[in-house]
């Protein structure tokens, strides 16, 4: 069976970007996901393992297949006074802001110069090539109960 919608995937993986480890499961501790149901998997990983059988895998995703191209227009500069007083305005800090459309967007501070704060609303991995590798231990069909709950169950059913 191959990874696809409504399967439960048990895997270990490492994500590297530009030679740096970004995410990884604990060595020897595979995780199980219900595939294709919302945001249970990081977006890139969901693309990387789609339609794979169990076994070792290695997959490189172009930015367009992962978190999209880097958009310079999503970088903006604002006055310190435009932020809540308790916002940690230091390079690297992250918070949610509101887009013009009203939907929340995660932004991070890239620089602070005097009263001017530059924030970037691109996903952290936008514009990056994602290098995934790992081992798919098992792929099985999701049970009706798992589909109903929208997540994978471990041995012995639902524990929440
Ligand atoms: Zn459940």
Residue pair 12/25 in contact by the 8 Å Cβ criterion: yes
Q: How far is the CA of 154 from the centre of ligand 1 (A)?
A: 9
The DSSP bridge pattern shows strands 116-120 and 20-24 to be unpaired
Whole-angstrom Cα distance, residue 13 to residue 36?
A: 18
- 2 Cα to the center of ligand 1, angstroms: 23
CA distance 156 to 113: 55
- Architecture of the domain delimited by 72-120: Beta Barrel (2.40)
Please answer whether residues 154 and 30 qualify as being in contact, where contact means their C-beta atoms are separated by less than 8 angstroms.
no
- What radius of gyration do the chain's Cα atoms show? 19
pTM for this prediction: 0.78
Give the tokens for residue 71.
């958009």
> What burial class does residue 157 get, using C-beta atoms within 10 Å of its C-beta: 0-12 exposed, 13-18 middle, 19+ buried?
exposed
Q: How far is the centre of ligand 1, averaged over its atoms, from the C-alpha of 35 (Å)? A: 14
Q: What's the gap in Å between 48 CA and the centre of ligand 1?
A: 25
How many whole angstroms from 3 Cα to the centroid of ligand 1?
20
Its CATH architecture, for the domain 7-67+126-149, is Roll (3.10)
Same fold, 7-67+126-149 and 72-120: no
Tokens describing residue 42: 């990081």
Q: How far is the CA of 18 from the centre of ligand 1 (A)?
A: 37
Domain ranges for the chain, please list them. Answer: 7-67+126-149, 72-120
Give the pLDDT of the chain (160 residues) as one tens digit per residue. Answer: 999 999 999 999 999 999 999 999 998 899 999 998 866 677 788 889 999 999 999 999 999 998 899 999 999 999 988 887 877 789 998 888 777 788 888 889 999 999 999 999 998 899 999 999 999 999 999 999 999 999 999 877 777 6
- For residue 32, report the distance from its CA to the centre of ligand 1, in Å: 13
Report the C-alpha gap between 85 and 79 in whole angstroms.
Answer: 12
* Distance of CA 129 from the midpoint of ligand 1 (Å): 34
């Amino acid at each position: 069976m191959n990874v696809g919608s409504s399967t439960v995937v048990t895997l270990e993986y490492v994500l590297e970007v530009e030679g740096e480890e970004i995410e990884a499961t604990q060595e020897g501790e595979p995780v199980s996901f219900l595939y294709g149901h919302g945001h249970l998997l990081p977006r890139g990983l969901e693309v990387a393992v789609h339609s794979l059988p169990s076994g070792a895998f290695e997959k490189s995703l172009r930015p367009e297949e992962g978190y999209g191209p880097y958009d310079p227009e999503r970088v903006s500069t604002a006055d310190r006074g435009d932020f809540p007083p308790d916002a940690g305005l230091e390079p690297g800090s992250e918070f949610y802001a509101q887009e013009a459309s009203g939907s929340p967007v995660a932004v991070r501070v890239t620089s602070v110069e005097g009263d001017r704060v530059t924030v970037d609303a691109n996903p952290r991995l936008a514009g990056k090539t994602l290098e995934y590798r790992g081992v798919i231990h098992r792929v099985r069909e999701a049970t009706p109960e798992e589909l109903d709950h929208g997540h994978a169950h471990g041995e012995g059913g639902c524990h929440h």
